[in-house]
Amino acid sequence: MTRFDRLPGTRDFYPDEMRIRRWIEDRWREVALRYGFEEYDAPVIEPLGLFTDKSGEEIVEQIYSFVDRGDRHIALRPEMTPSLARMVAARSQGLSKPIKWFSIPRLFRYERPQRGRFREFWQLNLDILGVAGVEADAEIMAAGVDALRACGLNADDFELRYSDRRLLDAFLAEAGVEEPEPWVYTVLDKIPRFGIKPALESFVKGGIPADSAERIADLQMIDRDEFMGLPNLGEHRDRMAQLRSYLDAYGVGDFCRFDPGVVRGLAYYTGVVFEMYDRKGELRAICGGGRYDDLLENVGGQTLPAAGFGLGEAVLIELLEARDRLPAPSSRCEVFVIPVSADDRRAAIEVLTQLRGAGIAGDLALTDQSVAKALKRAAQASARAAILIGERERKGGHLTFRELDTGNETTLSVEQIIARLIYGTPA
């Protein structure tokens, strides 16, 4: 018999892991809705060209792609932003602005599997389209911080580092690199991970003079004040000050730090860019995002300024685990109904059906077993209570209600049990 294993870089979510993923997604969804974002989704398969044209070198190298039976070149989506742009571009006239949408997509990238990096993963994506100013950047950055705070992390655990591609462009221009092509950002973005040497080689190979290459490869070393003191920054410097004051007003100032070294590898960013990292610097980025004002036009829509981020669940789980903050959400089964003997099964099903009808999550033993064994099963299911139904209960119309944490038993009617489980008080 052939045994099949999981593919490298994929994960099985057994119920224990699945409960954690759902717990995270529930918190993300709650924050997104609290900030006034609406949920959307798109197909997992998209035309390959949507990404090869728009995403930039690094992601393109990692795309899962195939030719379908209709000879179409198809990609499993590696990110959500081009799909969002495609959707909005197709209807942009009819959608009222600003558009504030969020999604929790399943994504695929053929990456080398490592801590917090997989070939199949999920992200919270949160984007605002139709606002050109830093008001939108500040709103999404605050929501990003809150999406992590809602998962129990605080300013000692993570920080958000931000910069602006327009500042970076001014720095590059000063170093003699005018209107850089997208690959320059990708190479700069990789320096913290792979070091300066391969970057210098790529710059020189790409035609950047050696002295300019040396200067721009130094970006990670440059002092913040030196960077901000560059002569040609003008309005960009003011914009950063305004962004900072909004971040403070949102109450997320302690989480956020201006860092000229934030570049972002993706091709479509045009303005403010940011990333979130664990404070100890042990893990790869938890979140990345920024402004992409040209993407909508590039996918055939009207010009529409846009900004957003992608926050990955995989690194977040790593971080929660490393800080001993991983929750142990219990299953939702509230009550376990136990027929004392096979003759009591019908009555047990009827009681359970009444409870479920009242919105209470309940379960029952599906095979005939001893009461002791069934009580054990109820405890495993983290049920709050068990209801025992035997001949006495069937005939008397009152059931034995057993609280599982104390072992207390009371005799109650179904109505009284429902009241107690819903309101927590004796009826």
Answer for which of 310, 339, 362, 390 binds ligand HAM (CB under 6 A) is 310
CB neighbour class for 179 (10 Å; exposed up to 12, middle 13-18, buried from 19): exposed
The smaller minimum CB distance to ligand HAM, of residues 118 and 255, is found at 118
Can you tell me the distance from the alpha carbon of 405 to that of 159, in angstroms, rounded to the nearest whole number? 40
User: In the complex, what is the shortest distance from the CB of residue 324 to ligand HAM, in angstroms, rounded to a whole number?
Assistant: 20
Strand-pairing partners, residue 21, are: none
Region binding ligand HAM by CB under 6 A among candidate stretches 76-84, 92-100, 349-357, 369-377:
76-84
User: In the complex, what is the shortest distance from the CB of residue 202 to ligand HAM, in angstroms, rounded to a whole number?
Assistant: 19
Q: What residue is closest to ligand HAM based on CB?
A: 312
The smaller minimum CB distance to ligand HAM, of residues 313 and 334, is found at 313
Residue 202 has φ and ψ, to the nearest 5°, of -65, -40
Please choose, from the candidates 106, 120, 124, the residue with its C-alpha nearest in 3D space to the C-alpha of residue 39. Answer: 124
The smaller minimum CB distance to ligand HAM, of residues 80 and 351, is found at 80
Is position 296 an interface residue for ligand HAM (rule: CB under 6 A)? no
Q: Integer distance in angstroms from the first to the last C-alpha of the chain? A: 58
Can you tell me the distance from the alpha carbon of 74 to that of 79, in angstroms, rounded to the nearest whole number? 14
The type of residue at 190 is: K
User: In the complex, what is the shortest distance from the CB of residue 395 to ligand HAM, in angstroms, rounded to a whole number?
Assistant: 59
- Give the distance from CA 183 to its chain's centroid: 27
* CB distance 39 to 332 below 8 Å: no
Is position 274 an interface residue for ligand HAM (rule: CB under 6 A)? no
Is position 19 an interface residue for ligand HAM (rule: CB under 6 A)? no
The smaller minimum CB distance to ligand HAM, of residues 266 and 386, is found at 266
Answer for which of 261, 288, 301, 339 binds ligand HAM (CB under 6 A) is 288
DSSP string, 76-100: E-S-SHHHHHHHHHHHTTTS-SSEE
Is position 312 an interface residue for ligand HAM (rule: CB under 6 A)? yes
List b or e across 378-391, with b for residues whose CB sees 16 or more CB atoms inside 10 angstroms.
Answer: beebebbbbbbbbe
User: In the complex, what is the shortest distance from the CB of residue 16 to ligand HAM, in angstroms, rounded to a whole number?
Assistant: 20
Region binding ligand HAM by CB under 6 A among candidate stretches 40-48, 227-235, 280-288, 352-360:
280-288
Residue 175 gets which letter from DSSP? T
Is position 287 an interface residue for ligand HAM (rule: CB under 6 A)? yes
* CB distance 101 to 40 below 8 Å: yes
Contacts of ligand HAM in 92-151 (CB under 6 A): 109, 111, 117-118, 121, 123, 125, 127
Is position 185 an interface residue for ligand HAM (rule: CB under 6 A)? no
Is position 344 an interface residue for ligand HAM (rule: CB under 6 A)? no
Is position 56 an interface residue for ligand HAM (rule: CB under 6 A)? no
Phi-psi region of 125 (alpha: psi -120 to 50; beta: other; left: phi over 0): beta
Q: Interface with ligand HAM by CB under 6 A: which residues?
A: 79-81, 109, 111, 117-118, 121, 123, 125, 127, 266, 285-289, 308-310, 312, 314-315
